[in-house]
Amino acid sequence: MEPSHHRLQQVFPDPPPDIDLGTFKVDRLPGHVAVIMDGNGRWAEARQLGRIKGHSAGIRAVRELIRASNDIGVRYLTIYSFSTENWSRPVDEVQALMLLFAKTMAAELEPLYDEDVRIRIIGDISALPKRTANIFKQAVEKTCDNRGMTLTIAVNYGSRQEILQAARILVAKSLAAEVGAKDPGSLTAADFEACLDTHGLPDPDLLIRTSGEFRLSNFLLYQIAYSEVYVSPVLWPDFDRYELLRAILAYQGRERRYGGLR
């Protein structure tokens, strides 16, 4: 459902002077927004705090992002919470993150369920601590019949690993004659996409990265082939609903060409 301007004023009641809410095109809302949430550590270090304090502050920004996205009618939101490369961080930081994930999901599950949000997980959660993995599984099961916004959380996720695993699955299916009748030439992009973690989700229309970094960080490399990219200079804990609004307004000001000459 497209948001009305009255609804937008409720969601964004006090926009900064540089934002004209009247320029928001209610008919050009990105259907799928993906976010690389970066800058928690630098936010904490700038305040002479421990890194986990930055991650805790970042949870508030996650809540703000989810609520604002859902309120304005974004149908799909995908957030990059923990990458396969993040295991190389200090052990105490990883352990604290896993505990934070479990506590946050447990606290947020009922409100998200009540808001009709459907939760999906991409990545290999079998490697997570049991408590954390279980609460993520519980969230997926509890919200599977919801029909509102789909919130996809990328946990222990890496796009190269996803693509490699999809290739392995497709080869196995082909050898079993489930697809392609063992003829590689008959395999299609749809066959491959059905083997990705994101099967059933549309590709992101808008990819947001915070903290001013211009990297994709092994996130949805296949799926963002024609996504519009918006880089915000704001560190993740300071990313609020108005920064989301800035990203969407920037998206709406672009012409999507998909490789064409228009």
134 noted as active-site residue:
no
Beta bridge partners of 153: 79, 121
Of the residues 18, 27, 86, 197, only one is catalytic, namely 86
Q: Which of 43, 45, 12, 46 is nearest to 26 (CA)?
A: 12
Collect all residues with Cβ–Cβ distance below 8 Å to 63 and sequence separation of at least 6: 108
DSSP of 7-62: HHHHHSSS--TT--GGG--TT---SEEEEE---HHHHHHHTT--HHHHHHHHHHHH
Q: Cα-flanking dihedrals φ and ψ of residue 228, to 5°? A: -80, 135
40 noted as active-site residue:
no
Other CB atoms within 10 Å distance of the CB of residue 121? 21
| Sheet of strand 206-209, all strands in order from the earlier edge strand to the far edge | 118-122, 150-157, 76-83, 32-36, 206-209, 228-231
The alpha carbons of the chain give a radius of gyration, in whole angstroms, of 19
Name the token pair of 144: 């599977």
Collect all residues with Cβ–Cβ distance below 8 Å to 114 and sequence separation of at least 6: none
Of the residues 38, 40, 156, 197, only one is catalytic, namely 38
* Residues listed for the chain: 262
- By annotation, the residues acting in catalysis are 38, 86
